[in-house]
Each structure stands twice: as structure tokens, then as C-alpha cells.
Amino acid sequence: EVQLVDSGGALVQPGGSLRLSCAASGFTFTSYWMNWVRQAPGKGLEWVANMGQDGNERYVDSVKGRFTISRDNAKNSLYLQMNSLRAEDTAVYYCARGNLAGAGIFDYWGQGTLVTVSS
């Protein structure tokens, strides 16, 4: 059974840093692109970043230079290092797997982890 477990969310002050984690199981992690998608409270979904099997990474413009996606294939884990956090980064962050038919088809999702940026 495919499982994605998100963790690391917390309350952090503006300008602060946080590292999110996603533990994957039930599939061959190294074969898949992996994504982070976020959802601000009461709002819609926003794709944040993804990383391919070879380490190729992409970001939405609003987080470029502040967020870094990474993966540890030996630990079947995906990470999101978030620096210089802003109030507008407040959201539930989901890890999502990219389907083999297309990296941008999000076929499995974690349960989400809440990041709150506030003083």
C-alpha cells in the first residue's frame, strides 16, 4: 500500500526557517518524481516544487531562492527546507507523488502538515 506521511509543520516567526519531511513507503521511491503542494487556510491548492529521480528540481516563482526541495533515496524521504518564511507561506503542505504516466499527475498524497508563519 502506498503511504506518504508528512511531518515537520510548526508555528514559526516571519523570517524564520523550517524543514518539512515526507516519509514514503509501499512503492519504489527512486522511480518517481515527488512534489510539494500547499493550501492556505480556506483557499485552493498551489503547487510549490518538485524533484525528479535524477535530482532535477523545479519551483513556483514565489518560493524560488527561499525554499529548497531535496530527497534521500536511501531513506525513501522527501524534504522541503523553507527559509525566510513569510505570512503568506502559512498553509497546509502536502507531499504528493507524481504518476509514472506524467510527473504532474498527483496520484497519492500525504495527510498534510500545517505551517503557520506569525509573530
Among 31, 41, 61, 74, binds other proteins (CB under 8 A): 61
Report angle CA 38, 42, 115 to the nearest 5 degrees.
45
Shortest approach of other proteins to residue 69 CB, angstroms?
A: 12
Encoded one letter per residue, x for contact with other proteins by CB under 8 A and - for no contact, window 5-44 reads ------------------------------x-x------x
β 77-82/57-59 pair status: unpaired
* Distance separating alpha carbons of residues 90 and 114, to the nearest angstrom: 8
- Does position 101 bind other proteins by CB under 8 A? yes
DSSP string, 76-95: TEEEEEE-S--GGG-EEEEE
Phi and psi of 75, rounded to 5°?
-105, 5
Closest CB to other proteins among residues 32, 94? 94
Select 36 or 79, whichever has its Cβ closest to other proteins. Answer: 36
Q: Which residues bind other proteins (CB under 8 A)?
A: 35, 37, 44-47, 58-61, 94, 99, 101-107, 109-112
